Structure 1
Amino acid sequence: MTSSTTPGDRMRRFPKIKGVEPAVLIAFGCILLLLVVGAIYSRNFLSATYLLQQLKVASFLGVIATGTMMVILLGQIDLSVPWVVTAGAMMACAAASFGPVGVALAVPVGILCGALIGLVNGFATAYLRIPSMIVTLATNAVTQGLMVVYTGGFSPQDSATPAMRWLATGEAIPVVPNGVLVWALIAVATVFLLNRTTFGRSIYAIGNRERAAFLSGINTRRIVMLTFVLAGALSAFGGVLLAGYASKAAQSMGDAYLLPAIAAVVLGGTHVLGGRGSYLGTVAGVVLITLLQSILSVMQIEEAGRQLIFGVVIVAMLLLYGRQKSA
C-alpha cells in the first residue's frame, strides 16, 4: 500500500504540534498530584520560597535534559552525560586557576570540553556507524579516567568563578534565580531550533526514518554529529552551573543526572525510538522529576531507592510508548 506523501512532507509534518499530547497532560497532572502529596508531608512545600528553590534545582536538570532530548529525538542515546557534566564543571574550575584570563574563559572552556566529547560521540555514531549506546558508554569511561588522573583521585581544589556562581545563584531579576532565566533562554532557543529551522526538522526526520531522511536530501551524518555536539555542550554547561551552585566541582557530581534526564524526557512524551516529542513535555518531565526527588528526600528514601523508581518509570514509559512508532 503506497502513500501520496513524500519523505520531505513527512519531515515537515513531524515537528509541528497541533495540540498538547496526552503524555504532556499526564505529566502536568502528575505535577499537581505531587504538589498535593508534598503539601501533606510538609506545610512549607507550597511556599513561594520553596517552590522557587525547586525551580532553581530543576533548571540544572533542565539544561542537561535539553541535550538528552535532542539525542533521543534522533533515535539515539547518550550515556556519557555523568562524566561530561563532571568534566565541564572540573575544567571550568581548573581554567579559573590561570589568572584573570582563565577566570574570563572558565565558562566557555567548560562548555567547549563538553562539545569536544560530544564531537567524538557524534563522529563515531554518524561516520563510523558504532551504536551510540556503546560509544557514549566508552567515552563516559574514558572521560572518567581522564578526570581521575587529573585530580589524582581526589576532589579538585579549584573553586568556581564569581561569574559561574552568579549564573547559578544570582538574581538579575529580583526573586527569579538566574539559573531559571538561563534555562528559559535555552528553552526558547531549543523550541525555535526544533520547530522553525531546517536543522530541527531534520532531527525529527532522522528519528522517524533515517534512510528516508537521507533519500530526501538531508545530510544525516552531519546532523547526527552536530546534535551530539550540542548535547555534550549542554551537559557540560549544566555541570558549569552545578559547580557555580556548589562553588566548586566534585568527583562524580554528574552521576545523579543520567537516569533523571532520560526519565524527564521520556515522561514528557518524547518517543524513545526517536522522531516524536515536544520540548514542553520535557519541561513538564523535568519539573515532575525534581518534585519527585524532593518528595522522596522528604520521605527519607535512599539514593538506591530513587534510582530504582526512575528505572521503573523509564520501563513503564517504554511499555506505553515504545510500540507507537509502528502504528
Structure 2
Amino acid sequence: MSARATGMRSGRWTVLQGQLRDRPSLVLVGVLLLLVLVIGVTRPGTVGPTWVANTILFAAPLGIVAAGQTLVMLTAGIDLSVAAVMTAAAYVAASQSYFGSIRAVILALAVGLVVGLLNGIGVAIFRVQPLIMTLGMGLVVSGVLLVYSLKVSPEGPPNVPDIVRTLGSGKVLGFVPNSALLWGAIATIVIVGLRQTGYGRLIYAIGDNPVACRLAGVRGWLVQLVTYVICGFLAAVAGLVLTGAINGADLSLGDVYLLPSVAAVVIGGTSIYGGNGGYAGTLVGALILTVLSSLFTLLDAPDPLKQILYGAIVVLLAAVYVRTAGDTG
C-alpha cells in the first residue's frame, strides 16, 4: 500500500513536471500570486480592487516598452535606447502641449519612430552591434533632449496634454485604467502577430538562424529594421503613458525603465540569443517586477537593500524559468 501510494505521488509529480515543461509561464504566474499573497499577509487590507488597478496602471509603461524589447531580443538584438526615447517622447509631448494635444502626441510618437529607424539602419544595414548602436543612440537622444530643453521656449513649464493625462491616469467605470486597455490591445497584437503572421515567424527564424534565413533569400535586414522601428514606437507610447500617469515630465523620467525592460523579457523566458520566447511571459514578468517593487515600498526597505534583493530575485527567476523551459529541450 505504501509503495502504491508512493508510486501515485511520483506519477502526479511527473505529470506536474510535464505540465510545467509544456507551460513554463505557469511558474511565473505562481510567483506572481505568491508575491501578492506575501503583500496581503504583511500588510493586511492592502490587496484589493484599488491596489490591483494601481498596480496595473504603473505596470503598463513597463509592459508596453518591454513589448518592443521582446521583439528586438527575439531577433538576437537589444535596444538600450528605450529609456531615452521614453523620456524624450514624454518631454516633447509636455513641452508642445501649448500648441495642441494632437500635435504634441504626433511629435512625441515621431521621436520614437525616428530613433527606431536610425537604430534599425545601424543594426540591420550597417551591421553595427545592437548593444553598441542602441547605447550610443540613447546617449545621442539624451544629449539632443538636453539641448532641446534649454532652447525650447514654451509659454510655461511643461504641461502634460489632456489626452495623454486621460490615457495615463484615467479609468473606465471608475476602476479599469485606460492604460490597461491600451496595454491589453498592444499585448494582443504582439502575441497574435508573433504566433499567426509571417512577420512573427520571420522574427523567430532570424533570431534562431540568421545565416539560414539569408541563404533562403529572406530579407532579414528588413525584418530587423521594422522591428527596431516598432520598438522605438512602443517606447514612445510607454513614455506618453508614464507621463500621463504621473502628470509630469522631466529629463530623467524613463531612466529607471531601462534595466527592467530587459529584465521583464528575460524573466519571461525570452532567450538573449534570440529565436525563443514570447510576449506572454514578458507580460507576467512586468507584473512581477511591479508587484516586487510595491512589496519593497510597503516594507520600507532601504534603497541599497532594495537593489540587492531586486537584482537577486530577477536572476533567480530568470534562472528558474530558463531551466524549466529548457527541460523541454
Whether the TM-score (by the shorter chain) exceeds 0.5 is yes
Is 1:82 aligned to residue 78 of structure 2?
no
Q: Identity rate of aligned residues, in percent? A: 33
Q: Classify the secondary structure of the residue corresponding to 1:152.
A: helix
Given that 2:70 and 2:278 are in contact with CA atoms closer than 8 Å, whether structure 1 keeps it comes out as no
Larger deviation, residues 287-296 vs 165-174: 165-174
Counterpart-to-counterpart distance in 1, 2:51 and 2:138: 34
Is 1:150 aligned to residue 148 of structure 2?
yes
Distance change (3 Å), C-alpha of 1:123 and 1:316: farther
Given that 1:21 and 1:269 are in contact with CA atoms closer than 8 Å, whether structure 2 keeps it comes out as no
Distance change (3 Å), C-alpha of 1:209 and 1:145: same
Counterpart-to-counterpart distance in 2, 1:303 and 1:63: 26
Where does residue 57 of structure 1 map in the other structure?
58
Counterpart-to-counterpart distance in 1, 2:254 and 2:103: 22
Q: Classify the secondary structure of the residue corresponding to 1:109.
A: helix
Distance change (3 Å), C-alpha of 1:304 and 1:262: farther
Is 1:299 aligned to residue 299 of structure 2?
yes
Counterpart-to-counterpart distance in 2, 1:41 and 1:309: 17
The aligned runs of 1:218-257 (5 Å cut-off) are 218-257=218-257
Q: Classify the secondary structure of the residue corresponding to 2:46.
A: helix
Is 1:69 aligned to residue 75 of structure 2?
no
Look up the equivalent residue of 2:298 and give its one-letter code. V
Distance change (3 Å), C-alpha of 1:304 and 1:203: farther
Shift, 1:233, TM fit: 0.7
The aligned runs of 1:140-289 (5 Å cut-off) are 140-152=138-150, 157-289=157-289
Is 1:48 aligned to residue 49 of structure 2?
yes
Distance change (3 Å), C-alpha of 1:308 and 1:228: farther
Q: Classify the secondary structure of the residue corresponding to 1:113.
A: helix
Distance change (3 Å), C-alpha of 1:305 and 1:202: farther
Counterpart-to-counterpart distance in 1, 2:203 and 2:139: 27
Look up the equivalent residue of 2:117 and give its one-letter code. L
Which structure has the larger Rg over C-alpha atoms? 2
Q: CA RMSD in A?
A: 2.4
Deviation per residue, 1:28-73 (Å, 9 max, x gap): 1111110111112211332111111111111111111101111111
Counterpart-to-counterpart distance in 2, 1:158 and 1:67: 27
Given that 2:64 and 2:238 are in contact with CA atoms closer than 8 Å, whether structure 1 keeps it comes out as yes
Shift, 1:149, TM fit: 1.4
Counterpart-to-counterpart distance in 1, 2:78 and 2:134: 8
Given that 2:81 and 2:138 are in contact with CA atoms closer than 8 Å, whether structure 1 keeps it comes out as yes
Counterpart-to-counterpart distance in 2, 1:302 and 1:139: 33
Look up the equivalent residue of 1:47 and give its one-letter code. G
Where does residue 108 of structure 2 map in the other structure?
110
Look up the equivalent residue of 1:296 and give its one-letter code. F
Given that 2:268 and 2:318 are in contact with CA atoms closer than 8 Å, whether structure 1 keeps it comes out as no
Counterpart-to-counterpart distance in 2, 1:307 and 1:136: 25
Where does residue 5 of structure 1 map in the other structure?
none
Given that 1:83 and 1:255 are in contact with CA atoms closer than 8 Å, whether structure 2 keeps it comes out as yes
Shift, 1:94, TM fit: 2.2
Where does residue 125 of structure 1 map in the other structure?
123
Shift, 1:304, TM fit: 4.6
Counterpart-to-counterpart distance in 1, 2:319 and 2:186: 30
Given that 1:121 and 1:135 are in contact with CA atoms closer than 8 Å, whether structure 2 keeps it comes out as yes
Shift, 1:238, TM fit: 0.5
Shift, 1:317, TM fit: 6.0
Given that 1:34 and 1:291 are in contact with CA atoms closer than 8 Å, whether structure 2 keeps it comes out as yes
Given that 1:44 and 1:50 are in contact with CA atoms closer than 8 Å, whether structure 2 keeps it comes out as no
Counterpart-to-counterpart distance in 2, 1:228 and 1:135: 11
Q: Classify the secondary structure of the residue corresponding to 2:171.
A: coil
Given that 1:70 and 1:203 are in contact with CA atoms closer than 8 Å, whether structure 2 keeps it comes out as yes
The count of residues paired between Structure 1 and Structure 2 equals 305
Counterpart-to-counterpart distance in 1, 2:307 and 2:137: 22
Aligned mate of 2:135, from 134, 137, 146: 137
Larger deviation, residues 117-126 vs 293-302: 293-302
Larger deviation, residues 19-28 vs 127-136: 19-28
Shift, 1:278, TM fit: 2.2
Unaligned 5+ segments in structure 1 are 1-17
Look up the equivalent residue of 1:117 and give its one-letter code. V
Is 1:35 aligned to residue 33 of structure 2?
no
Given that 1:116 and 1:229 are in contact with CA atoms closer than 8 Å, whether structure 2 keeps it comes out as yes
When the two structures are superposed, what TM-score results if normalisation uses the length of structure 2?
0.86
Distance change (3 Å), C-alpha of 1:32 and 1:138: same
Distance change (3 Å), C-alpha of 1:302 and 1:139: farther
Given that 1:93 and 1:160 are in contact with CA atoms closer than 8 Å, whether structure 2 keeps it comes out as yes
Larger deviation, residues 168-177 vs 83-92: 168-177
